[in-house]
Amino acid sequence: MMCRIHCEPRIDSRDLNRGSQGVTAIPVIMVTSFGWFIWWRTASLHSAMWNSFEEIVL
């Protein structure tokens, strides 16, 4: 495994990047966007909590 990575760095890195990005990009984007949407809805519904959060962060 190590010898193969050292002997063929370009081919291995290219294939690993392509596979990992193709598999993980879509679920990560979906989960993050869904989480942001839930967080935004909760913050907009509870304005008092949102104001306190803004005071703590900003």
What local confidence, expressed as pLDDT, does residue 1 receive? 47
Please tell me the pTM assigned to this model.
0.34
C-alpha to C-alpha distance for 54 and 56, rounded to whole angstroms:
5
State the virtual CA torsion across 21, 33, 58, 42 in degrees, nearest 10: -150
Chunked mean pLDDT (size 10), the chain, 58 residues = 51 57 74 87 70 69
What local confidence, expressed as pLDDT, does residue 13 receive? 55
What local confidence, expressed as pLDDT, does residue 16 receive? 56
C-alpha dist (Å) from residue 4 to 7, 15, 21: 5, 13, 21
CB 4 within 8 A of CB 12: yes
What local confidence, expressed as pLDDT, does residue 25 receive? 74
State the virtual CA torsion across 21, 26, 31, 33 in degrees, nearest 10: 110
For the chain, the domains span: 2-57
